[in-house]
Amino acid sequence: MNNIQESNPFLGRYDTPHGTVPFDKIRTEHYEPAIKEGIKLQNEEIDALINNPEEPNFQNTIAAYERSGELLQRVHTVFGNLLSAETNDDLQELAKVIMPMFSEHHNNISLNKALFARIKKVYEHREQEDLTNEQRQLLDDVYIGFVRNGASLDDEKQEKFRELCKELSLLALQFSENNLKETNAYQLVLKKEEQLEGLPESIIEMAAETAHEKGLSEGWVFTLQAPSYIPFMKYSTNRELRRELYMAYNTKCTHDNAYNNKEIVKRIVNAHLELAQLLGYTNFAEYNLQRRMAENSENVYKLLDQLLDAYTPTAQKEYDEVQKLARQLAGDDFELMPWDWSYYSHKLKDSKFQLDDEKLRPYFELNKVKEGVFGLATRLYGITFHPNPDIPVYHKDVEAFDVFDKDGSFLAVLYTDFYPRPGKRSGAWMTSYKEQWKDEQTGENSRPHVSIVMNFTKPTKEKPALLTFDEVTTFLHEFGHSLHGMLANSTYSSLSGTNVYWDFVELPSQFMENYATEKEFLHTFARHYQTNEPIPDESIQSIIDSANFNAAYLCLRQVSFGLLDMAWYTRTTPFEGDVEAYEQQAWKKAQITPHVPGTCMSVQFSHIFAGGYSAGYYSYKWAEVLDADAFSLFKQKGIFDQETATSFRENILSKGGTEPPMALYERFRGQKPTIDALLIRNGIKKEK
């Protein structure tokens, strides 16, 4: 072993429990040489594949290609994940070097004519081999993937394809970096106690700690991170401060500075369009939806329009009801603005259901919630979770668990990362550090390493981490994704776990959210952190009764994001106009609250400009139709019914992308999904 290998943890065997990532040994300087070594090794593997004198077949071409690039994937996965979960200026600068390098290498492979010739030959003679369903799926994915990545283009167009991929890689990186820096740059510093009127004690404590962390000797600091921003907008009685914070949040990346994303939005949209048209598609949505359950933009718009028609009348009534309350409290001429919505809708919800997040918080102490969520997985699937302090982690807040199956066998590693910090982007997500796969020779099942990352309310000196009900729901959502990864049981890693169509990937996560409003589940863990008293039945009933509060308004909000996404990516000509004006026109028919000039969602809409959801944001609502339909079966049979849970595990969670998703869903459900279960769940339609 040479000196580089000895000093670089990526280049040797991981001497850690389950071969987990040795985060404690990885330094910024290790990434670039490891990436270069990974590229070199995969190039050698591809050369060996191409120069194999045997006739191309599934094993010596498709399976060999699937197995290539193990080191590169390992390093790139760690780098990409930490760029979101624990970044810094050095990593972000390095990303500007590494991401184009990785993009170029990917293009060198996908545009390799000799490699594609072998793949094409296997594809054209696929009926001559006795392939399993999973092998057929992998062959189909690999061949079509190469075509969609430009393998059939002539030399000149392939060169253009390379340039566009590299450009998009850098633009997405810059978009995210600008968003993070704008978020971190802002702080609302309050010095007077009267400015805190209406805010719960826990939020005030957190703001005082934030002030201390930022080196202030007095006062309170509120930020644009969700645990600070959301409760301030909900509880603060100071309308002017609500407006100030709202404007700070909703004008991120619009200012005349280095972090303005308006031109970047245009460049991303136009590069996606050019790439799609280069491949022979009319627009990027047509290209992207070819490999989705929805299949085309007509089906996406059909769903969005169905939801608009079904929910708009109720959404308008919900808005009018909040407006009415606001005028009762603030005067007859009061105009409800977006910075008022959370405040007054919360007051209306509280008056209707006597349900207040702050009164519920004491029953949702994070460790108890964790026990409840883990216990739900145990009850449904028989799996158990055991902390393993010997597994290295990338930050002191991260905890690692060994996960065991119902027969006692090792199933997975799960990392949990719950609290916000400056180096972590906003939001919540699940990711993998290692995918599940099986060795075709030995049959050994290599188990996955999965991570869930969130931005929950932090503990303070006086109190542990006490979650809002929405945070409990978010936990269930991301944990659903992790189950999809942990219960994977495929042969090939590229078909394993969450490697499924984008509009299918949200089914397991949104399915788990259903348990948040189930009394039987809440009774298993929701106890007061001080008295250990169980959450009162009347509080649970209020949670259930309020589950559909403003459901139509929230649905239209999601529909508006879907419309905005589709407007950007169904374009057939380059965009050179005004981003804000285009946005307002795109989602106008789904907007209920007044537009505030100067605000702009697109410039901070990371999902569709930097997060893989381009022409795919509709998938949240698509999956919601699936999850409502799926959970309706559990409601019929019992929410912990073992037979139904086993079927869900075997037909959905363990299968990954090994078969078309609709075939998997129909095998579990016994029928195609309809919108009816969602309409019934949201109270839009009555159950027959």
- 478 part of the active site: yes
Q: Which residue has the tokens 């893989």?
A: 612
Tokens of 265: 């939005």
3-state secondary structure 276-340: HHHCCCCCHHHHHHCCCCCCCHHHHHHHHHHHHHHHHHHHHHHHHHHHHHHHHHHCCCCCCCHHH
3-state secondary structure 561-586: HHHHHHHHHCCCCCCCCCHHHHHHHH
Cα–Cα distance measured from residue 448 to residue 415, given in angstroms and rounded to the nearest whole number: 11
284-293 b/e with 16+ CB inside 10 Å = b?
bbbbbbeebb
Tokens of 621: 């609502």
Report residue 485 CA to chain centroid gap: 13
Report residue 421 CA to chain centroid gap: 18
Cα–Cα distance measured from residue 578 to residue 215, given in angstroms and rounded to the nearest whole number: 40
Complete DSSP assignment for 389-417: TTS--SSTT-EEEEEE-TTS-EEEEEEEE
Type of residue at 407: D
Q: Are 624 and 510 in contact (CB under 8 A)?
A: yes
Query: Where does residue 385 fall: left (phi above 0), alpha (psi -120 to 50 degrees), or beta otherwise?
Result: beta
| Helices 28-50 and 70-85, packing angle to 10 deg | 150
Beta strands in 199-261 (DSSP E): 220-222
For residue 123, which of 62, 204, 173 has the smallest C-alpha distance?
A: 62
Q: Do strands 449-453 and 410-417 pair parallel, antiparallel, or not at all (unpaired)?
A: parallel
Cα–Cα distance measured from residue 432 to residue 672, given in angstroms and rounded to the nearest whole number: 30
Active-site residue, from 471, 478, 513, 583: 478
Cβ neighbours around 263 below 10 Å, total = 11
Cα–Cα distance measured from residue 16 to residue 394, given in angstroms and rounded to the nearest whole number: 14
Q: Are 371 and 467 in contact (CB under 8 A)?
A: no
Q: How far is CA 365 from CA 73, 471, 480, 485, 676, in A?
A: 37, 11, 20, 26, 35
3-state secondary structure 41-91: HHHHHHHHHHCCCCCCCHHHHHHHHHHCCHHHHHHHHHHHHHHHHCCCHHH
For residue 403, which of 418, 416, 422 has the smallest C-alpha distance?
A: 416
Q: Which residue has the tokens 């259903």?
A: 514
Q: Are 383 and 486 in contact (CB under 8 A)?
A: yes
89: Cβ contacts below 8 Å, ≥ 6 apart? none
Q: Are 561 and 617 in contact (CB under 8 A)?
A: yes
Cα–Cα distance measured from residue 13 to residue 369, given in angstroms and rounded to the nearest whole number: 36
Give the residue ranges of DSSP H helices in 439-578.
469-486, 502-505, 507-513, 519-522, 537-545, 551-569
Cα–Cα distance measured from residue 222 to residue 472, given in angstroms and rounded to the nearest whole number: 22
Q: Residue 614, SS3?
A: coil
Q: Which are the catalytic amino acids?
A: 478
